[in-house]
Amino acid sequence: MKILVSIDSFKGSLSSLEAGLATKEGILEVYPNANVKVLAIADGGEGTVDAILNSTDFRKIAIKTVNANHDEVEAYYALKDDKAVIEVASSVGITLVKEKKPFAFSSYGVGLMIKDAINRNIKELIIGLGGSVTNDAGLGMMQALGYKFYDKNGKILPSKTTSLAKVAKIDYQGAIDLGKIKVTIASDVKNPLCGKNGATFIFGQQKGVKLNELDILDNSLNHFATIMNSFFGKDKKEIPGSGAAGGIGFALLNIFDSVIRPGIDVILEVNKFKDEVLNTDIVITGEGRLDRQTAFGKAPFGIASMAKKYKKPVIAFAGIVKEDAKCLNTQGIDAYFPIIQELVSLTEALDKKNAASNLKNTVEQVFRIIKTFKGD
């Protein structure tokens, strides 16, 4: 029996690889001779680079960059030949700052990572936009790549969100030549840059923006977009996904030959999921929480959709399964199972050892059912 295991991370508990290995253990308890392939997965957010490194022959490039508060941090990205995979969460992730100061934050660190990859002569860049704490429309990222922003008095503006409202002129003299680099933006966010459905109003508060500051920051983004439009001659602020990662998507669309695609689709291509699914009998997927939202582009949905193209059965496992997850049975997931086996606290449920054990044990029991009905 050939089984492909590709499970998204159980956030706060198991990484994609850890969940996959626990699943493999459960299967081998029942089918010790099964050919079980574990393929780490992500959807463009935090863990994307690790998923690529764990399931492909990309190599890890470690560098020093800065977080959203300009504190030095160590980060890494994936590189193979002339292609790089970067995730913004590794430099300006929400978990990398102790205090949320949205108007002081900058995406400069993302630009430093891109610059390092460019210096290695890449021709293609995949950048995952999930998990950021910034809301500066990519201004800081552009500054790291050599763009200069001036106020109405001709003074160079600092790399922080408050500069957005003051930008009067953009200077690209000395900026890195980005013309030959093709960029794929891996993001499931469909929000535009500005407005009630934009970056600030939808995601601002979780990044520390106060309720009475939402209009102020949204107006700043709109001003910046107007200046960018006059400079680049193209209006990108209404494009679905331009509001991803606090507007980093907007900046990428302006300065690169770029396209926004669902994160899971991009990652499935990079790790050659199609080739793997063609040669398997059962596909196993899952995530920390399965619910109706899973069907809106999350990793298990993407995996199930691909598997169903080739008529493969799909089983999913999750830490929590909500009642509205029933819709997934018509979206490619043939059956799903929660792994919690007794009433425990959230802390106990998220404990890495407990989660791995619960997942392994649940998988084992499901495959015992399969073995019984197969008559093996």
- Give residue 47's pLDDT: 86
Residues of the chain with pLDDT under 50: none
Query: Is 257 in the same domain as 285?
Result: no
- Give residue 188's pLDDT: 81
SS3 assignment, position 121:
coil
Query: Is 145 in the same domain as 199?
Result: yes
Q: Which of 199, 232, 264 is the last residue of a domain?
A: 264
Query: Is 6 in the same domain as 93?
Result: no
CA-wise closest residue to 20 among 9, 32, 35, 33: 9
Query: Is 146 in the same domain as 209?
Result: yes
Query: Is 180 in the same domain as 77?
Result: yes
Query: Is 148 in the same domain as 163?
Result: yes
* DSSP track, 285-328: EEEEEESGGGGTT-HHHHHHHHHHHTT--EEEEEEEE-GGGGGG
The CATH number of the domain holding residue 26 is 3.40.50.10350
> For residue range 19-78, what is the model confidence (pLDDT) as tens digits?
999 999 999 999 999 999 999 998 888 889 999 998 899 999 999 999 999 999 999 999
Q: Which of 264, 280, 306 is the last residue of a domain?
A: 264
Is the pTM higher than 0.85? The answer reads yes
Query: Is 312 in the same domain as 183?
Result: no
Query: Is 27 in the same domain as 66?
Result: no
Query: Is 212 in the same domain as 307?
Result: no
Q: Do the Cβ atoms of 371 and 350 come closer than 8 Å?
A: no
Q: Do the Cβ atoms of 243 and 201 come closer than 8 Å?
A: no
Classify strands 35-38 and 59-66 as parallel, antiparallel or unpaired. Answer: unpaired
The CATH number of the domain holding residue 193 is 3.90.1510.10
* Phi, psi (deg, nearest 5) at residue 111: -60, -40
Query: Is 259 in the same domain as 317?
Result: no
Q: Which of 231, 264, 297 is the last residue of a domain?
A: 264
Query: Is 181 in the same domain as 303?
Result: no
Structural domains in the chain (count) = 2
| Domain span at 200 | 48-264
* Phi, psi (deg, nearest 5) at residue 50: -60, -40
Query: Is 122 in the same domain as 208?
Result: yes
Q: Can you point out the beta strands (E) in the chain?
A: 2-5, 35-38, 59-66, 72-80, 83-87, 124-128, 148-150, 169-171, 182-186, 257-261, 282-290, 314-321, 335-338
Beta-bridged to residue 170, according to DSSP, are 149
CA-wise closest residue to 250 among 146, 166, 164, 159: 164
Instruction: Give 38: exposed, middle or buried? Use CB within 10 Å, 0-12, 13-18, 19+.
Output: buried
